[in-house]
Amino acid sequence: MNDAAPILNSPITLTSNSILKLKSILSSDPEAHGKSLRIALESGGCSGSQYVFSFDTQKETDQVITSEGVSVLIDNETAEKLKGSVIDYVQDFASEGFSINNPNVKHSCGCGNSVEI
């Protein structure tokens, strides 16, 4: 994971890799234009919950985390479960995507896409 600076009063921290990738997507993907990255936890997967990433517009009940010109949307319930998490964007020979290092996870499945918090 690369450098990550906490955002004041934020439940999460964004790494510079995640910020760069978000800026790239927002500038090149017409469907993401004018939207923010939404991070949510939904029921499912073998450990009980799974992370869901999408581009969305802000809802009245969202927490908005802004860093270096990009915004992340998190509903209040998810924000509590992500408190202290670091959001990164990783690329290696096997995969590419956003990842969450969440200190609140009690158990995760082998694939890393499903967690118990």
Domain that holds residue 47: 4-116
Cβ distance 72 to 14 under 8 Å? yes
pLDDT of res. 3: 58
Are 76 and 59 a contacting pair, CB within 8 Å?
no
pLDDT tens for 4-47 read: 544 445 788 999 999 999 999 999 999 998 899 999 988 766 65
Predicted local distance difference test score (pLDDT) of residue 18: 93
Domain count of the fold of the chain: 1
Condensed to tens digits (0 to 9), the pLDDT of residues 74-113 reads 998 889 889 999 999 998 888 888 888 888 887 666 555 5
| Distance, CA of 117 to CA of 97 (rounded, Å) | 21
Task: Provide the whole-model pTM.
Answer: 0.79
- Here the CATH number for the domain that contains residue 54 is 2.60.300.12
